[in-house]
Amino acid sequence: MGSGSGGASSGAASSGGAGSGGGPAPAGTVVVDTAFQLKTADPGRMFEPTGLLIDRALYATLLTFTGDDVTKPVPDLAESYTASADGKVFTFKLRKDAIFSDGTPVTPADVMFSLNRVKNVKGNPSFLMDGITVTSPDPGTVVLTSATPNPAIPFIVPNSALGILNSKAVKAAGGSDAVGADKSDTAEAALNGKSEGAGPYVLDSYSTTTQVVMTANPKYWGTPGKYQKIIVRNVQANVQKLNVLKGQSQIAVDLSPAQAEGLSSSVQTINGASPNVFFLFTNNSSAVSKVTSNKDFQEAVRFGVDYDGLVQLAGTGAVQASGIIPTMFLGALPTGTGVKRDVEKAKAALARSGLGSPTVTLAYPSDIQVNGLNFGDLAARVQANLKDVGITVNLAPASVQTALETYRGGKEEMGLWEWGPDYPDPSDYLNFLPGQVVGKRANWLAGQAPELEALGKKAAATIDNDTRKTQYTEIQKMMNTAGPIIPLIQPAQILVASTSVKNVKANALWLVALSELG
Amino acid sequence: MSIPEIPVEVADPAGSTLSSGLPADPVADRRRSSSPRKQPLAVIGVVVVAGWVMIAIFAGVIAPSGPLDQKFVQLKAPSAQHLLGTDELGRDVLSRILFGARVSLPQAVLLVFGAMLFGSAVGALAGFFGGWVDALGMRLADVVFAFPGIILAMAVAAALGPQLRNAVLAVIVVSWPAYARLMRGLVLSARGSQYVTASRLLGASSLRAMWVDIRPNVLGPIAVMAALDVGNAVLLLSGLSFLGLGAQPPTAEWGAMVAAGAQNFDRWWIGLFPGLAILTVVLAFNFIGDSLRDALDPRTARAVRS
Amino acid sequence: MSSVRNDSATIPVRAGRRRAPRGDLWLFVAKRLGIGLILILGATLVSFVLTQLVPGDPAAANLGQQAVEDPEAVAAFRHKYGLDRSLPVQFFTYIGNVLHGDLGLSQQSHRPVGTDLAEYVPATFELAIFAIALSLLVGVSFGVLAAVTRDRWPDQVLRVVSLAGVSMPTFWIALMAFYLFFFKWGLLPGGGRLEPTETPPAHITGLYTVDAALHGQWSLCFSAAKHVVLPGLVLATYTIGLLLRFTRASVLEILGNDYVRSARAKGLPERTVVIRHVLRPALVSIITVAGVAFGSLLSGAVLVENIYSWPGLGQYAYLSAVNLDLPAIMGVSLVVAVVYIAMNLLVDVLYGVIDPRIRLS
């Protein structure tokens, strides 16, 4: 890996002026509408969808992804990298010609500063750097060393939150990467006014409620974006549709399948599955529930749910989550290999359980939508499905704040939740195993599925991608036969764009790479 | 009196208090009679309200399908098969509106009842005991009045968690002061009247005096105010549901249905019809209220407005 | 009646309506200011208590799903927003900071709440001023029309129209207007304060129309005005209905007065009678209602701004409420309380100016 120069043309460094060698000089404006989920533009504190979208254009990272392919990290600031056999040491060779928007070169010191700052600011993305130390043996090399084997590192560093900052400028603005930066770092306000990155765009104006304007970085060292100006506006999904139809915006990113239905041919629709996975869990602790902890009951639920019906409900573009790992990631189960509804089998399992006609409570957050889908609508469908089997489900909607507390506390008898990827690597989904983050929420504790857990440990330490693929496939197949976690669907992720804009690709991490629009 | 009373209740469209508080025609107070022929709006109002009550009761019989049945083709425009079309999940909009009456009306009545109970209790205590009880109760009411209703209700609903039950509570929190004010005024004037003074002289305890002598004189105006508030309660509750802080999907609630219409508003029928349902209910109550204010005897009319 | 009204000194609408013997205007203003300050303090306390009742944890609401699992990140968050201190300390620190002009840091925008409010309040004011001006114009003129044609058909029609105005669900009419005027007919812009490609005028008042005009940027001013029209109209539906009914009632009442009858008896033309002898006194009470209606527009703004992507106080209030952004909720409450109380003070003073017969106490 790490051979080619992922689209970044060389030989532009010397010019240093406007519109470097690669493509034609940027011109024109593209307007992108999205319902803002934006708290900050400071990469060190940012982990919200709109922040990821924006920071991807403002900040270069060590590696990155192009288009919609998140299975293959490609060079960005690092022209190549190597991994040690034990999966603990990753060595990145920095390219020499990369410069920040103020014209100063990108150095290993900047990389160390940026990554350590993320860790020590203790903001939302700091978990990405857990257990990772950054060093630089020579000017041109950066080494990331993980305390435990961490094959996901090449998939983690492309995250916009790990964008490389101009350390001098950020320090001058009050930035700090030292331990205690959570209190001493005061650079956020400055970074919300002016970007300090080496990305293809620079920040022009910023508001968390109206719009963010970015203009082409005249000193960008790679292939510049096609558009001189990118405006990202905060617009509700319904209005996005009208705007894009009326030509008032070029891209709408939040349309639900229902909204995207029957659009005219004046726009293009990029229709794919979202990396978010809706899943159901039944609490595995008999202290919480005698019913849901019953293995046969869990099987009855697994075969009682009408997956095809849920996919149909979620609309065009949605797919069944064959396993817990979403389709676009390494190790995902092929489409069509997931659990199929089998009411007879479910009834038989329920009969075996000896629970009679049990009644259970299904909790879910009722006030949030994921990809335009209400949890309540899915829950109502699950309720109807399980009624066919002989299970009575009481719906317990709650606000996401309240529901999260009971969910995290492992107190929900049955829950309907969603998991969005932290980084596009299957290892993120080890969180669903017994004793891990999500496993514990279902009271699926360490030691309750030894074989599965051992396999998880092995997968966590494997580097070779082919081997990983096999291991993760195995893990998901085991999860699909037993256990309290039942993956349901991946909703549709729909991009609607004016036909004038080319190369619009949905990305699981940052929705769409704005600098790649053609 | 050259200056007409300005009802406190006008304070707010979505409402720190519910009553729309439109002023009565001061001259008509003396002239108009309450005979139905001269009050056509009142008749229309009563008929519409009665109609909705019947719909709420018999929704199960008259609705073509259940409110949650997702069994039709999605997003179909109104046709002979679905008079008001289908929504984004393939539910019959007409059925959902009819069943929606079962959600909106009882919740609004409950809400008004709660606000009335709490507000009247505070007002009665304040009016009867005076002193610090009065000061505390009325200053609390002032503070609540210093917020635009829906902003406070929104904060309360968000704090308690978005559920219809909490939205009802939130609206009670912002709407009780109107009742407290009215009750306090009524108690004060009743207390000043001779027969109460007389009964106290005869040794009746204060609580007993309040219950036996004052109650009959204040119940009427309070009940009128409450009855007329139902329409505005529907308005406020549906507003919270529209914002996602009241009834949650998949509940068939009118405000939430308009919100769904807003999500798909080139499919105009999803949002138009539930909104019309809200409008007819609220308008009907305002028709009745407006006519009633005209027709009521001046004393009550003014008390309602103060 | 008097006993009912005695407590009214601090009640927004009714304040100042007492006709007391001669009093000193300044003393009155000072007294009202004092009461206003106490009310603001009370409002702050109420919103503070409210934010403490929140069952959800602000840290959980504002941190990412991974960060919230990390006790260190949670501790850092709680420390940053002062949530690790005792409640009375938090409250008094807050009050102290507010007196220094510091409203705290918003958890959703990561900016000072004061900065946020300075940006959003003018946006809402621009809408509200337009709406109230329109309501006064339409409401008062049609109200007078209704009064002079009492019980004839124009009055009957206007009665139904004004009742419909106050019965209309704001969010619904906003949606329908949006659908028709923007989507269907394309007559007016759909949302926002300007076209996305336009740059806001340099900040003077924060009202884009005014600022653009002050800078002589006429096309920008026109664009800003075009954006105000639709949400402004929607916001005005309620207040138009309200003012119409109210004007009608006031005018009718005054028309019945002796001095009006004598003016008529003197043979003055009806127009002169209505304008000079009726409208002027009626204006007093109309202004009072308009003042209150202005405050009430803030409520409507929550629903209208939501649909028209209008970056105002209503949107900010809504977002802070659903994100449990406590400092922002407190800030919004404070602004709203101040506006309400200031509005009523203004109304009281105007009241005395317009009708000198009325003495302030």
Across the interface, whether the CB atoms of B89 and A398 are under 8 A apart is answered: no
Answer whether A42 touches C (CB < 8 Å): yes
CB-CB neighbours of A136 under 10 Å: 16
Across the interface, whether the CB atoms of C167 and B283 are under 8 A apart is answered: yes
Q: B260 near B270, Cβ under 8 Å?
A: yes
Radius of gyration in angstroms for the set of CA atoms belonging to chain A, rounded to a whole number: 24
Chain A's closest residue to C186, CA to CA, is A246
Amino acid identity, position B89: L
What pLDDT is recorded for position B36?
54
What pLDDT is recorded for position C5?
28
**Contacts with A48 from chain C: Cβ below 8 Å:** 64
Across the interface, whether the CB atoms of A125 and C322 are under 8 A apart is answered: no
What pLDDT is recorded for position B10?
33
CA dihedral sign, ordered C56, C58, C62, C68: negative
**Contacts with A380 from chain B: Cβ below 8 Å:** 68, 250
Assign 3-class secondary structure to A161-221: HHCCCCHHHHHHCCCCCCCCHHHHCCCHHHHCCCCCCCCCEEEEECCCCCEEEEEECCCCC
What pLDDT is recorded for position C20?
41
CA distance C45 to chain A (A): 23
The CB-side HSE value for A350 (13 A sphere, CA atoms) comes to: 22
**Contacts with B163 from chain A: Cβ below 8 Å:** 366, 397-399
pLDDT < 70 regions, chain A: 1-26
Distances (CA, A) of C253 to A365, C43, C269, C278: 55, 36, 19, 9
Across the interface, whether the CB atoms of B146 and C176 are under 8 A apart is answered: no
Between chain A and chain B, the number of residue pairs with CB atoms below 8 A apart is 51
Answer whether A243 touches B (CB < 8 Å): no
Among the partner-chain residues C169, C296, C337, the one whose CB lies closest to the CB of B11 is: C296
Place C354 in a pLDDT band, splitting at 50, 70 and 90.
low
**Contacts with C284 from chain B: Cβ below 8 Å:** 3
Q: How far apart are CA C282 and CA B6, in angstroms?
A: 12
What pLDDT is recorded for position C56?
61
Q: Is the pTM of this model over 0.90?
A: no
Answer whether A243 touches C (CB < 8 Å): yes
- The pLDDT tens digits for C314-330 are 888 888 887 778 888 88
Across the interface, whether the CB atoms of B22 and C252 are under 8 A apart is answered: no
What pLDDT is recorded for position B253?
94
User: Measured in whole angstroms, how far is the alpha carbon of residue C349 from the centre of its chain?
Assistant: 18
Answer whether A124 touches C (CB < 8 Å): yes
Q: What is the DSSP letter of A79?
A: E
More confident residue, A516 or C293: A516
**Contacts with C256 from chain B: Cβ below 8 Å:** 26-27
CA distance A77 to chain B (A): 41
Across the interface, whether the CB atoms of A127 and C67 are under 8 A apart is answered: yes
Among the partner-chain residues A238, A374, A380, the one whose CB lies closest to the CB of B264 is: A238
Q: Mention every residue, 6+ apart, whose C-beta is less than 8 A from residue A486.
A: A279, A280, A281, A282, A298, A301, A302, A305, A339
Chains in contact with A, counting 3 or more C-beta pairs less than 8 Å apart as contact = B, C
Chain A's closest residue to C106, CA to CA, is A39
What pLDDT is recorded for position A78?
96
More confident residue, B34 or C7: B34
Q: Does C284 have pLDDT greater than 60?
A: yes
Across the interface, whether the CB atoms of B68 and A380 are under 8 A apart is answered: yes
Chain C's closest residue to B42, CA to CA, is C160
What pLDDT is recorded for position C308?
87
Q: Does C2 have pLDDT greater than 70?
A: no
Q: How far apart are CA C289 and CA A34, in angstroms?
A: 40
Mutate to test the interface with B, among C167, C318, C320, C348 (most CBs of B within 10 A): C167
Q: Which pair of tokens denotes residue B189?
A: 């004037």
Among the partner-chain residues C64, C196, C315, the one whose CB lies closest to the CB of A124 is: C64
What pLDDT is recorded for position C256?
76
Torsion of Cα atoms, B169 then B172 then B174 then B179, to 10°: -170
Q: How far apart are CA A411 and CA C69, in angstroms?
A: 16
What pLDDT is recorded for position B18?
42
What pLDDT is recorded for position C288?
77
Buried b (16+ CB within 10 A) or exposed e, A300-311: bbbbbbbbeebb
Token look-up 């019309």 returns B276
CA distance C237 to chain A (A): 22
- Per-residue model confidence as pLDDT tens for chain B (306 residues): 233 333 333 333 333 334 444 555 555 444 444 455 567 889 999 999 999 999 999 999 999 998 888 778 888 899 999 999 998 888 999 999 999 999 999 999 999 999 999 999 999 899 888 889 998 888 888 888 777 677 778 878 777 777 888 899 989 988 999 899 899 888 888 777 766 667 666 766 666 766 777 777 788 888 888 888 898 899 989 999 998 888 887 889 999 999 988 888 778 999 999 999 999 999 999 999 888 877 764 433 333 333
What pLDDT is recorded for position A24?
55
Q: Does C14 have pLDDT greater than 80?
A: no
- The pLDDT tens digits for C200-239 are 898 889 899 999 999 999 999 999 999 999 999 999 999 9
Across the interface, whether the CB atoms of B162 and A399 are under 8 A apart is answered: yes
What pLDDT is recorded for position C353?
66
Q: Does C351 have pLDDT greater than 90?
A: no
**Contacts with C79 from chain A: Cβ below 8 Å:** 182-183
CA distance B108 to chain C (A): 15
Q: Which pair of tokens denotes residue B176?
A: 């009780």
Chain C's closest residue to B177, CA to CA, is C11
What pLDDT is recorded for position A97?
94
